[in-house]
Amino acid sequence: MKITTTRFGEVEVSGESTYAFPEGILGFGDIRSFVLLDHPRGGPFRWLQAIEVPALAFVVTDPAIFFPSYRVAVRAEDVSSIRLEDIRGGFVLVILTVNRETSGITANLQGPLVFNPAGRLAKQVVLADREYTTRHPLVPVQKP
Amino acid sequence: MLVLTRAVNEAIMIGDGIEITVVGVKGDKVRIGIRAPQSVAVHRKEVYEAIQQANVEAARTAPSDLPTLPDLSRIIPPPSAPPGGAGTKE
């Protein structure tokens, strides 16, 4: 399937990289279909691109790369809408924000994205845990 | 805004599917129980607004805003596998 995007032009996407967000993403209520794209220049970044809205995309990353101790504590009812019965079958990505003035990158650890790859479903979970905020600076991982 | 007075253990129905119960009152804090269909997300408003605002800001990012690989390699070790793959994460 070919989709049109503002950032990447026309992109060919396969069904296995598409995800339905049954509850949408806060702030973008009616948009439900997204696809995970690799960052054109490689590295730890990927893009969550809205399939039907060319201009809507988020930079996402695997939090384990930058926040090794980060854990997403979800209850069964948090992920029942994406039919994730066994949490080990899912994976987590977090949305990044780049501050254009400082070029600083922050990660939203309070609202992680939980994916169910088998069901092609995903959702933004809002963590009740006050330990995490929407703006954690991407702390470089030190080499051992 | 509709304003109703309720006592502890009294409830309000919103439509057919949403029930809001006053569970307890202690000083200036009210404990509220919410029963709602799974399709209705329930959040504390300040958390909801923080996530919403973060999402709106994040959606402004352009690919050119991200550091290039040489810049990145200085701050993170090279990934041993393609990142964010279909592997299991906690």
Q: What are the Cα distances from residue A101, in Å, to A98, A104, A105, B16, B58?
A: 9, 8, 11, 49, 14
Residues of A within 8 A of B89 (CB-CB) are 62, 64, 90-92
**Full-model pTM:** 0.82
Which phi and psi (to 5°) does residue B51 adopt?
Answer: -65, -40
Q: Average pLDDT of chain A?
A: 89
* Cβ–Cβ below 8 Å for B79 and A91: no
* Cβ–Cβ below 8 Å for B83 and A62: yes
Pairs of residues, one from chain A and one from chain B, whose beta carbons lie less than 8 Å apart:
133
ipTM of the complex as predicted: 0.89
Q: What are the Cα distances from residue B12, in Å, to A25, A54, A74, B1, B44?
A: 28, 42, 28, 15, 18
- How many angstroms separate the CA atoms of A14 and A128, rounded? 34
Q: Which residues contact B14 (CB under 8 A, 6 or more apart)?
A: B20
Residues of A within 8 A of B83 (CB-CB) are 43-46, 61-62, 65
pLDDT over threshold 60, residue A142: no
Could you read off the pLDDT of A73-131 as tens digits, one per residue?
888 878 888 888 888 889 999 999 988 777 788 999 999 999 999 999 999 999 877 88
- How many angstroms separate the CA atoms of B78 and B88, rounded? 19
- How many angstroms separate the CA atoms of A96 and A106, rounded? 6
pLDDT over threshold 90, residue B42: no
